[in-house]
């Protein structure tokens, strides 16, 4: 072991939370060390999450569109073949480019990068088992825990990443399974179901609740999404629970039951994806050594300045409270460094967008209708369908709508929900509007270029306080 050197900031975990905090810390003049065990930076998001899944979503959509949606556009294609190996290679190339890019940014900003597994030795010291062998220690005036999350396992169904897979196996299957069953109709479930269905699998999604989309999606939008995805060939079994499962021969059997207590049924498939949520990851960190506390769901308990019970040990990202999203982790990373350096920082948790990258995309920010009802908040609804938007019509992509919720008295925007082409890009406008406390009339009186999908956004705003022109 080398002599412990005192740094201004030591970060355990080089995911989005950790790497962004490291770069921001260095930019603020702090001496920073970031410890990551994976061998590459970027965490779940860059290596096995956001980036590889979006590569597969983008290219499988293109393949599916070429197969099924070219004739009406006046394009005649010949023999279309899937080269799954190349599809995976394209994904791996994107991942490698981005993770190396973060490593370059570390060098550029003078962040020390230790490849290894960190654990608390004491309140100021992290012991690191280096990936290349050996051990070192690094001491920090401030320490940030940014160790992220892992897939929640399904009891009794062992994940082997071949037949029973988490998202990590689902982004790396070596052949297109004939049949795929997805446990959990949340974001991971629906994104991966879309990918493999487009590539030729028969996909069944088993969801415990009566609606798909996971937490946060507006119920009306979730219903519309289910209808569209069903048309694309996905089979949904909602209000259905998986009781047990086992791998027998080259099939995986799942015993399912209606959540209301109905008839039991067995589904057999080549591959089962377990996508029932993610849980915080703190294994082997030695939190008990220093007395950092976890809540009943395993999340590190922090205050508003991201401090654990030990004030110089802070925590951000998936391993603590809030939505498990990369951009939420990134916001926290900037704010936590500002708290350390300046004593103040800011994240608006009411204004974090969510995007599901299916086709069409689903995106939202702020509150859903069911949230507002539950809270007893009065609201007005305005919506506008893409079938009445000129650009969507021109592009022959008319499914979906923009829906806005606003305060009936002040007209202040409360939530925006979009299902439609490019919803993930369009939600940025809703997020900005919400962050600035805009009214629906503010949006409606803002000139939007023609012909764009964003005009549907403007017209939904018009519909909220008055009437849209094109409906």
Helix (H) or strand (E) holding 267: strand 264-269
Binding partner selected for residue 276 from ligand FAD, ligand NAD, none, CB under the kind-specific 5 to 8 Å limit? ligand NAD
x-marked contacts with ligand NAD along 300-329 as a string, rule CB under 6 A: -----------------------xxx----
User: Do residues 264 and 243 touch, judged by C-beta distance below 8 A?
Assistant: yes
- Residue numbering of the annotated binding site for FAD: 54, 118, 147-149, 318, 324-327
Asked if residue 202 binds ligand FAD (CB under 6 A), the reply is: no
Three-state SS for 211?
Answer: coil
Binding partner selected for residue 277 from ligand FAD, ligand NAD, none, CB under the kind-specific 5 to 8 Å limit? ligand NAD
Choice from 355, 405, 444, 463 touching ligand NAD (CB under 6 A): 355
User: Do residues 285 and 305 touch, judged by C-beta distance below 8 A?
Assistant: no
Give the whole-angstrom CA distance, residue 185 versus residue 230. 13
CA 137 to chain centre: 33
For residue 428, count other CB atoms closer than 10 A to its CB. Answer: 13
For residue 254, count other CB atoms closer than 10 A to its CB. Answer: 22
Binding partner selected for residue 233 from ligand FAD, ligand NAD, none, CB under the kind-specific 5 to 8 Å limit? none
- Within 258-277, the residues that bind ligand NAD by CB under 6 A are 275-277
- CA dihedral defined by 265, 269, 274, 275, rounded to 10 degrees? -90
Q: How far is the CB of 347 from ligand FAD (least distance, A)?
A: 14
Asked if residue 144 binds ligand FAD (CB under 6 A), the reply is: no
Asked if residue 357 binds ligand NAD (CB under 6 A), the reply is: yes
Binding partner selected for residue 206 from ligand NAD, ligand FAD, none, CB under the kind-specific 5 to 8 Å limit? ligand NAD
User: Do residues 291 and 272 touch, judged by C-beta distance below 8 A?
Assistant: no
Residue whose CB is less far from ligand NAD, 143 or 325: 325
First CA to last CA distance, the chain: 71
Cross-strand partners of 142 = 9
Strands (E), 107-239: 112-122, 125-130, 135-145, 149-151, 164-165, 179-183, 202-206, 235-237
x-marked contacts with ligand FAD along 98-137 as a string, rule CB under 6 A: -------------------xx-------------------
Give the whole-angstrom CA distance, residue 284 versus residue 127. 11
Cross-strand partners of 15 = none
Stretch that binds ligand FAD, among 13-21, 68-76, 225-233, 381-389 (CB under 6 A): 13-21
Residue whose CB is less far from ligand NAD, 356 or 444: 356
Asked if residue 61 binds ligand NAD (CB under 6 A), the reply is: no
Choice from 131, 172, 208, 435 touching ligand NAD (CB under 6 A): 208
Asked if residue 214 binds ligand NAD (CB under 6 A), the reply is: yes
Q: CA angle 186-188-190, nearest 5°?
A: 65
Choice from 326, 392, 434, 456 touching ligand FAD (CB under 6 A): 326
Q: Which residues are catalytic?
A: 450
Residue whose CB is less far from ligand NAD, 208 or 321: 208
User: Do residues 130 and 136 touch, judged by C-beta distance below 8 A?
Assistant: yes
Asked if residue 318 binds ligand FAD (CB under 6 A), the reply is: yes
- Within 263-282, the residues that bind ligand FAD by CB under 6 A are 281
Binding partner selected for residue 184 from ligand FAD, ligand NAD, none, CB under the kind-specific 5 to 8 Å limit? ligand NAD
Three-state SS for 190?
Answer: helix
Three-state SS for 133?
Answer: coil
- CA dihedral defined by 212, 217, 222, 226, rounded to 10 degrees? -50
Asked if residue 146 binds ligand FAD (CB under 6 A), the reply is: yes
| Residues of the shown chain interacting with ligand FAD in the complex, contacts defined by CB under 6 A | 12-18, 35-38, 43-45, 49-50, 53, 117-118, 146-149, 167, 188, 281, 284-285, 317-318, 324-327, 329
| Residues of the shown chain interacting with ligand NAD in the complex, contacts defined by CB under 6 A | 183-189, 191, 206-209, 214-215, 241-242, 275-278, 323-325, 355-357
């Amino acid at each position: 072991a080398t002599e412990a050197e005192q740094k201004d900031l030591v970060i355990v975990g080089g995911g989005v939370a950790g790497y962004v905090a490291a770069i921001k810390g260095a930019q603020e003049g702090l001496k920073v060390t970031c410890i990551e065990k994976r061998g590459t930076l970027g965490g779940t998001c860059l290596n096995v999450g956001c980036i590889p899944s979006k590569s597969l979503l983008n290219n499988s959509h293109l393949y599916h569109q070429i197969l099924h949606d070219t004739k009406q556009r006046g394009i005649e294609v010949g023999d279309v073949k899937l080269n799954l190996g190349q599809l995976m290679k394209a994904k791996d190339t994107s991942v490698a480019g981005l993770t190396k890019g973060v490593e370059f940014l570390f060098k550029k900003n003078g962040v020390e990068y230790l490849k290894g597994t960190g654990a608390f030795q004491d309140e100021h010291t992290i012991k690191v088992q280096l990936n290349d062998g050996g051990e070192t220690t690094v001491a920090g005036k401030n320490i940030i825990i940014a160790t992220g999350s892992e897939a929640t396992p399904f009891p009794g169904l062992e994940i082997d990443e071949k037949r029973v897979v988490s998202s990590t196996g689902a982004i790396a299957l070596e052949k297109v399974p004939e049949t795929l069953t997805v446990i959990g109709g949340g974001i991971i479930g629906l994104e991966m179901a879309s990918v493999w269905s487009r590539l030729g699998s028969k996909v069944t999604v088993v969801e415990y609740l009566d609606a798909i989309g996971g937490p946060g999606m507006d119920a009306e939008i979730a219903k519309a999404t289910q209808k569209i995805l069903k048309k694309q060939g996905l089979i949904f079994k909602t209000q259905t629970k998986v009781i047990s499962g086992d791998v027998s021969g080259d099939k995986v059997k799942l015993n399912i039951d209606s959540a209301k207590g109905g008839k039991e049924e067995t589904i057999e498939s080549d591959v089962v994806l377990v996508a029932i949520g993610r849980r915080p990851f703190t294994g082997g960190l030695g939190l008990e050594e220093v007395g950092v506390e976890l809540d009943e769901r395993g999340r590190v308990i922090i205050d508003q300045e991201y401090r654990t019970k030990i004030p110089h040990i802070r925590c951000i990202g998936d391993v603590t409270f809030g939505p498990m999203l990369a951009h939420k982790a990134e916001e926290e990373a900037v704010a936590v460094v500002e708290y350390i350096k300046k004593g103040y920082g800011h994240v608006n948790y009411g204004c974090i967008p969510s995007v599901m990258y299916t086709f069409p995309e689903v995106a939202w920010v702020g509150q859903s209708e069911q949230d507002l009802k539950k809270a007893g908040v009065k609201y007005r609804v305005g919506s506008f369908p893409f079938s009445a938007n000129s650009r969507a019509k021109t592009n022959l992509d008319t499914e979906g709508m923009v829906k806005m919720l606003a305060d009936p008295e002040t007209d202040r925007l409360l939530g925006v929900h979009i299902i439609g082409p490019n919803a993930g890009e369009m939600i940025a406008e809703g997020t900005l509007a919400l962050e600035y406390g805009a009214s629906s009339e503010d949006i409606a009186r803002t000139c939007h270029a023609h012909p764009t999908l964003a005009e549907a956004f403007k017209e939904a705003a018009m519909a909220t306080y008055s009437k849209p022109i094109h409906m």
